[in-house]
Chains A and B, each alone.
Chain A
Amino acid sequence: NAGVTQTPKFRVLKTGQSMTLLCAQDMNHEYMYWYRQDPGMGLRLIHYSVGEGTTAKGEVPDGYNVSRLKKQNFLLGLESAAPSQTSVYFCASKLDGETQYFGPGTRLLVL
């Protein structure tokens, strides 16, 4: 049971490039979330999903898209990366309780 995994661990992009971050969970969780964490700030919710095939916007969705084609995977896409998207990205999942289980994070640097 690997829990929540994220790939890649670290990535450097140039402004305007695109990429997809993958989050996978093997706990059969319904809910999945993408957050970003910036220095001096807590985590902010980007997008979330309440089940396979569903997605919804969080607090800071602009510049990101998501997809949940399979229950175990939640993808976060950046179509045209900007320096303001330099951050650490965390994925989390939960079943029907309140506790969220977090992945180890992806560090993204946009030059």
Chain B
Amino acid sequence: SQQGEEDPQALSIQEGENATMNCSYKTSINNLQWYRQNSGRGLVHLILIRSNEREKHSGRLRVTLDTSKKSSSLLITASRAADTASYFCATIPTNAGGTSYGKLTFGQGTILTVHP
């Protein structure tokens, strides 16, 4: 079963605008990661936020995490046509009494299209 649900499923914006994608998850987590996938390619890690963090920045990316609502958002500011891709959230659940071995559970993804 999918741990994450992403919203919206698809997002279309103009270059220069901001893009916000949301992710909700079901169980307690150690951390939440965002990955990007260009069409026909593998996934590339963007950013990781730990369960004790509320906000994190990396270049034009801003990630927030609300563990009380079991949700996260990814904001891409000043978007570019090259940002066109699918974006996935992935979680490592908290595993009391054991280790997760780094197993990620992915959301369904948001398809972002940035028009020049």
Contacts and interface: CB of A to CB of B under 8 A. Distances in A.
A61 interface: no
B58 to A, nearest CB: 13
Interface in B86-103: 88, 90, 92, 101-103
Given A41-B108, A42-B108, A102 B42 contact: yes
B42 A31 contact: no
A90 interface: yes
Contacts, number: 63
Interface in B38-87: 40-45, 48
B43 A102 contact: yes
A48 interface: yes
Contacts of B109: 42
Contacts of B101: 31, 48, 50, 56
Interface residues of B, number: 25
Given A48-B101, A48-B103, A42 B48 contact: no
Name the interface size band of chain A: 20 to 34
Contacts of A33: 102-104
16 contacts: A31-B102, A33-B102, A35-B106, A40-B108, A43-B106, A44-B2, A44-B106, A48-B103, A59-B105, A90-B43, A100-B104, A101-B45, A102-B35, A102-B43, A102-B44, A104-B41
Interface of A: 4, 31, 33, 35, 40-45, 48, 50, 56, 58-59, 90, 92, 94, 98-105
